[in-house]
Structure 1
Amino acid sequence: MKASLTRRACAAALVLTATMTPAVAVPPDGKAAPADRGGVQARLLGEKIIPHQLTFRNTTVGGLSGIDRDPCTGDYVMISDDRSYLQPARFYTAKIGVDRSGVHSVDFTGTHPLRQPDGSFYPPPTAGDGKAVDPEELRVDPRNCQYVWAQEGNRPKSAGEPVVQPSIQFATRTGEYLGQHPLAPHYRVTTGDWGIRRNQAVEAITFGGGGGLLTSAVEGPLLQDGLEPDLEHGALIRVTQQNRQGQVRGQFAYPLEKIFAESDPTSPWGPDTGVPAILAFPDDPDRYLVLERTWVAGAGYKIRLYDATTHGATDVRDMGSLNGREVAPMRKKPVADFDDLGLSTVDNTEGMTWGPTLPNGEQTLILVSDDNFAENAVTQIVALGIR
Structure 2
Amino acid sequence: MRGAFLALLLLTAAPAVAAPRATLIKACETPKGLVFDGGGYGGISGIDHDPRTGLWAFISDDKSERGPSHAFLGRLDLRPGAPCGPTLEAMIPLRREDGSTFPDRKAGTEAADGEAIRFDPRGQDLLWTTEGDFEHGDPPAIRRLSRDGRPVARPIARVVAPDNLRFQPDGRTGARKNATFEGLSWSVDGRSIWVSMEWPLIQDGSVPSVAAGGLTRLSRLDRSGRLLAQYAYPIDPVQAASPVGVGDNGVSEILALDARRLLVLERSGIKGADGGYAYHVRLYLADLSRAEDVSRSPSLADGKVRAVRKRLLLNFDSLGIRIDNLEAMAWGPRQKDGARTLVLASDDNYDARQINQILVLRVAP
- State the TM-score, normalizing by the size of structure 2: 0.89
Out of 84, 107, 114, the residue aligned to residue 127 of structure 1 is 107
Q: For residues 119-177 of structure 1, what are the alpha-carbon distances to aligned partners after superposition, in whole Å with 9 as ceiling and x for unaligned? A: 22100110012x21211111111000310000001224xxxxx2221111111112222
Out of 292, 316, 333, the residue aligned to residue 314 of structure 1 is 292
Match of 1:112 in 2: 92
Alignment of 1:42-81 (within 5 A): 42-81=22-61
- State the TM-score, normalizing by the size of structure 1: 0.84
Contact 1:233 1:257 in 2 (8 A): yes
Match of 1:297 in 2: 271
Match of 1:373 in 2: 350
* Structure 2 residue 308 is the aligned partner of structure 1 residue 334: no
In the alignment, residue 180 of structure 1 is paired with which amino acid?
R
Match of 1:227 in 2: 206
Match of 1:278 in 2: 254
- With over 3 angstroms needed to count, the CA separation of the structure-2 counterparts of 1:40 and 1:120, relative to structure 1, is closer
Aligned mates of 1:290, 1:260 — CA distance in 2: 16
Aligned mates of 1:149, 1:381 — CA distance in 2: 20
CA apart distance, 1:71? 3.0
RMSD: 1.7
* Structure 2 residue 192 is the aligned partner of structure 1 residue 213: yes
Contact 2:209 2:248 in 1 (8 A): no
CA apart distance, 1:360? 2.8
CA apart distance, 1:286? 2.1
Identity across matched positions, percent: 35
Match of 1:84 in 2: 64
- Is there any run of 5+ residues in structure 1 with no aligned partner, and where? 1-17, 21-37, 157-161
Give the secondary structure class of the aligned counterpart of 2:106. Answer: helix
Match of 2:228 in 1: 249
Q: For residues 346-386 of structure 1, what are the alpha-carbon distances to aligned partners after superposition, in whole Å with 9 as ceiling and x for unaligned? A: 10000100001112332100010000111001111110001
Aligned mates of 2:21, 2:71 — CA distance in 1: 32
Aligned mates of 1:226, 1:103 — CA distance in 2: 46
Aligned length, in residue pairs:
340
Out of 138, 141, 150, the residue aligned to residue 167 of structure 1 is 141
Give the secondary structure class of the aligned counterpart of 1:224. Answer: helix
Aligned mates of 2:228, 2:196 — CA distance in 1: 14
Contact 1:187 1:202 in 2 (8 A): no
Q: For residues 183-206 of structure 1, what are the alpha-carbon distances to aligned partners after superposition, in whole Å with 9 as ceiling and x for unaligned? A: 234111112211000110111110
